[in-house]
A and B are shown apart, each in its own frame.
Chain A
Amino acid sequence: MTLISLALKSLRNRWFSAFLCVLTIGLSTALLLAVEHIRASARSSFQSTVSGTDLIVGARTGAVPLMLYTVFHVGEASNNVSWASYQRYANLSSVRWTIPISLGDSYQGFRVVGTTDAMFAHYRFGAKRALAFVQGQAFNNTDAQAVVGSAVAEKLGLILGAKLAVSHGLGNVGFIKHAHAQQTLVGVLAATGTPVDQSVFVNLAAIESMHAGFDGSARVPAAKTDLGHDHADHADHADHNVEIAANANVPSTPKAITAFFIGLKVRPMALALQRQINDDADEPLLAILPTATLQQLWRLVGVAEQALSLVSIAVVVTGLLGMMMALIATLEQRRREMAILRSVGARGHQIFSLLLLESSALTLAGLAFGAALISFLLALFANTLASRYGLFLSVHWLSARTLLGLALIFMVSVLLAVLPAIAAYRNALSDGLSVKL
């Protein structure tokens, strides 16, 4: 008690250096907490980029590539799934819902996903959250309508009723535009923090009909949803402009789709169905369990995350070393102080404790400052981060993990303070009561 008040008063006397110590420790702690919090949030949001889906089925490829192009819209499908196969699985009694998707087109650099209204009814992300509309509603399954993700709407300044001319192919500015088959914007989705934000959803039927005729015949429209079309296709595309205009809005049944999501009535059936699909005799297909593949993917991405953690730990250690140096630097000037304390009966170990108490007080103040700062910043920016970047950060950064981190910082600081404390102890014993100044 006595020593604590002595330590605090001595620190108050050196308030500026103490203040700088607290500031350094506080800022580095806040950085560590922020990184840890964002890391945890990013991890959980990544791992639930898609949730509630039991299987994702595409043409046979690797599990990671299938996940990448169906959910993250990275890379391209090498092959399609025939409509017949899709129908076969969609109609199984164990299947509750399916979402067919057809990729390969783009709008102003954003990927176009041809799908049905099942997307808005069944697709889930995060903690089983459905896609929500900030404006408008889902498209119907017959008209040439589109729904865009939040990032698309914001970046392109789209408003409901806008006419989107979807480009064929994935180039930033596709040079062949389906000008004849413009999609009317009927809905804008809320931010999800997933690739959905970057997507343009159009009616699968509409996308089929606008591709109809690329091959010179409306009778063979299907394969055009794949990405493998070459320039020869584009060349004759121009010839068909007039012809196509006639059947622009006619829904047609696609011959093939890129992939489809499956929701089952009974979850444990997923493994059995996965095996069945992978062993499909009619068509080489691949079914993946999204959760498992997402974890596999995170292991790839996680390296960067660990590097970030390491950097922030280094920053904290630097802050603590700074405090240790500040304590050591003052020891020489404080020999007189120690000698006075010795003369009134302070024991060697009390001098030692005094230094430890000082460093503990500085660290605790630093930790409190860091924690207050992070709470303040989260309260201030959590909403902006969620709506702008789809990064959903909880205001409650305190978890068992961060608490452990704070405790570790404190322990390291006490350990580091042992060095100046030993120096002070030895000085005090060798100086005794007389210090020549």
Chain B
Amino acid sequence: MTAVAIQQLQFTWPGTRQEGPAKPVINIANFALAKGEKCFLKGASGSGKSTLLQLIAGVLVPSAGEITVLGQPLSRLSAGKRDQFRADHLGFVFQLFNLLGFLSVADNVLLPCRFSALRANRALTQGTSLAHAAVNLLAALGLDAQLSRQAASRLSVGQQQRVALARALLGAPGLIICDEPTSAIDVEHRARFMQLLLAQVEKTGAALLFVSHDPALERYFDRTVHLSEINQAQSMHDDAPAALPKERV
């Protein structure tokens, strides 16, 4: 079973037809991410990265094609079920502003467990209580227990990214999606962040889809995929037949 399987995926923003038929921003014939695989998805901004991530997250709905996440074809789920699926099985780390500043660090980490009983139950295997599990995970990421009671807004950016990582990991979701999580962190902390991320992902066996345009990070991953190569949307102008993706799995 693959973590992510994409087939003949097309996505067109609704209501963007100024002239002629709307142009898809995503057109991916085939892409797959194996279970436990760590994939570096490389792409410049504007290449449709965040659109693709939102499709995988089930927040956006494909115009055509199918996305299967952890064996579950998303098109068969209602919007509410997709939200629940996201809460149960996906962990996200974004570039910046991952945390709710008015919640404590621990409350931020526990946020997915509030929307997913499944995540909460799995988190309970990582500690005697949910709070304990959160503190354990934070400690593994180099954030001491005292910090967990603080308001998230008081942390440094580097600390905030690690808290976001803890949140994505807690309750062992099957797929971790990172959208340029290190671009706001300075270089020394970046290496540390990557090491912690990879160590934890290996520990839980989750698949990792890591989006960045920083080539220096490629070396941490099993595989690099250039979004511009799998996404044929740019060459769709004249209804040209979609080329086969260069990178295949």
What is A's interface to B at a CB cutoff of 8 Å?
Answer: 2, 6, 9-10, 12-13, 336-337, 340-350, 432-434, 437
Contact = CB atoms under 8 A, between A and B. Distances in A.
Contacts of A341: 100, 111
Contacts of A345: 83-84, 86-88, 112, 115-116
Nearest to A342: B59
B115 A344 contact: yes
Contacts of A344: 86-87, 92, 111-112, 114-115, 167
Nearest to A436: B50
A433 B53 contact: yes
5 contacts: A340-B97, A432-B59, A433-B50, A434-B54, A434-B94
B245 interface: no
Interface of B: 50, 53-54, 57, 59-60, 79-80, 83-84, 86-88, 92, 94, 97-103, 107, 111-112, 114-116, 167, 179
Contacts of B114: 2, 6, 344
Closest 9 CB pairs of A and B: A345-B87, A13-B102, A345-B115, A432-B59, A2-B114, A347-B83, A344-B112, A434-B50, A343-B92
Contact of B60 (A337, A343, A350, A432): A432
B115 A346 contact: yes
A342 to B, nearest CB: 7
Contacts of A437: 97
Contacts of A10: 100, 102
Nearest to A340: B100
Given A345-B87, A433-B57, A340 B98 contact: yes
Main secondary structure of the interface of A (DSSP, over half): helix
B54 A433 contact: yes
A433 B92 contact: yes
Contact of A2 (B54, B60, B100, B115): B115
A433 B50 CA distance: 8
Given A344-B86, A344-B167, A432-B60, 7 more contacts: A336-B97, A343-B92, A344-B111, A345-B87, A347-B83, A432-B54, A432-B57
A337 B80 CA distance: 19
Contacts of B84: 345, 347
Nearest to A9: B102
B101 A343 contact: no
A9 B112 contact: no
A346 to B, nearest CB: 6
A2 B101 CA distance: 17
Nearest to B108: A340
A433 B102 contact: no
Contacts of B87: 344-346
A343 B87 CA distance: 8
A126 B54 CA distance: 72
Contacts of A340: 97-100, 111
A345 B88 CA distance: 8
B102 A343 contact: no
A276 B118 CA distance: 87
A13 B101 contact: yes
Nearest to B102: A13
B79 A433 contact: no
Contacts of A2: 114-115
B133 to A, nearest CB: 16
Given A433-B54, A433-B92, A437-B97, A347 B102 contact: no
Contacts of A342: 59, 83
A346 B80 CA distance: 9
Contacts of A12: 102
B177 to A, nearest CB: 9
Given A344-B167, A345-B112, A347-B80, A433 B59 contact: yes
Contacts of B94: 343, 433-434
A433 B44 CA distance: 19
